[in-house]
Chains A and B, each alone.
Chain A
């Protein structure tokens, strides 16, 4: 990192170029502003979710007696109750596990950045690899979650349309949804899908950085700042999931 020493009376030169007034490199600043714009995009999706939710009827009965219907917005903990390999009712356990995996991969990323500050190639390599593995684990979990959501329950849902037709729906897609109003499934696919796309691109970028660390590109450059930049992106993805977890699954 360039360390320009600037006097008090030379303050004019601070913004005249050649210095780093914010004490962060160009690449890091641009990553921050990109993340800000990405936050706007995700906020748009969450606003849409909130808007759709409050523009639909709310379920008024007790949680125990909840039955999915296209008439009212569902209670998420009654929808996301599946975990792999066990046929038991485990509300939100799987999505809690996914949250935990992503937070842990964020931690390994911090450790990679910390190792980068120390120019410790071996440590950066190790923690980057763990971060990539965490990202892949998260994506696999999400794929399974989508599969269950799309396949649906064994009984399905019988819907009597106003025009007299009777539909038997299994699972959810962009048109039919056995768990609740059509928008509930649409937004599920869109929000978790858009986040999943971010995770996927994050994993790919992490793999590229891991490769560069392994072949010694940053060692030759004398700076591991690239690890820091992709770290910012990766933490942001983790942060978005924290919000998705709260607003889509908990509330």
Chain B
């Protein structure tokens, strides 16, 4: 590192209140969504409806974490698609395997009783 020490350092810029406000906004949204999930877990009966709501809320949280915190929303279009397209295939894999497991359960039941 020895010689690099004399490289000029960039100047410190003041805080941008709008940016900090945006971060706080996302934080509050994430906290509220988690609280809603928490309350739903105890008040609504389990079933496909509740599971769907949970999955949707998780996706909303994902949107905020990846879009705002990881800054993907503000990257170039190609980069956004390079990340999102493979993720869509992963989601399809998950869905296909879940459907398959139901058939597995039926098959195991009919073969082994």
- Inter-chain contact B54/A242, CB cutoff 8 Å: no
Known contacts A24-B75, A114-B19; A55/B108 CB under 8 A: yes
Chain B residues, Cβ within 8 Å of A245? 34, 37
Contact A120:B13 (CB < 8 A) given known A100-B31, A106-B65: yes
Q: Does A185 contact B (CB under 8 A)?
A: no
On chain B, the residues within 8 Å of A250 by CB distance are 37, 41, 54
Query: Which single residue of chain B is at the shortest CB-CB distance from A37?
Result: B86
Bitwise, A18-32 to B at CB < 8 A (1) or not (0) is: 000111100001001
Give the distance in Å from the alpha carbon of A32 to the alpha carbon of B85 in the complex.
13
Q: How large, as a class, is the contact surface on chain A?
A: 35 or more
List residues of chain B with CB within 8 A of the CB of A217. 1
The interface residues of chain A lying within 8 Å CB-to-CB of B87 are 36, 39
Chain B: how many interface residues by the 8 Å CB criterion?
Answer: 57
Per-residue CB contact flags for chain B residues 1-45 toward chain A (1 = under 8 Å, else 0) read 100110111111111100110010001001100100110011000
B94 touches A43 (CB 8 A): yes
Interface of A is mostly: helix
Contact A39 B90 (CB under 8 A): yes
Does A107 have its Cβ within 8 Å of any Cβ on chain B? yes
Stretch at the interface among A133-141, A148-156, A219-227: A219-227
With A21-B78, A22-B79, A111-B23 already in contact, 19 other A-B pairs whose C-beta atoms are closer than 8 Å: A23-B75, A43-B93, A46-B94, A50-B98, A55-B105, A55-B108, A75-B46, A96-B34, A100-B34, A114-B20, A119-B9, A119-B11, A121-B12, A220-B7, A235-B69, A239-B66, A242-B61, A242-B65, A251-B54
Question: What would 8 A/B residue contacts be, using CB atoms closer than 8 Å?
Answer: A51-B97, A51-B104, A107-B23, A114-B20, A114-B23, A220-B5, A231-B70, A250-B41
Which residues from chain B sit less than 8 Å from chain A, CB to CB? Answer: 1, 4-5, 7-16, 19-20, 23, 27, 30-31, 34, 37-38, 41-42, 46, 50-51, 54-55, 57-58, 61-62, 65-66, 68-70, 75-76, 78-79, 82-83, 86-87, 90, 93-94, 97-98, 100-102, 104-105, 108
Question: What is A's interface to B at a CB cutoff of 8 Å?
Answer: 21-24, 29, 32, 36, 39-40, 43, 46-47, 50-56, 63, 75, 77, 91-92, 96, 99-100, 103-104, 106-107, 109-111, 114, 117-121, 123, 217, 219-223, 231-232, 235-236, 238-239, 242-243, 245-246, 250-251
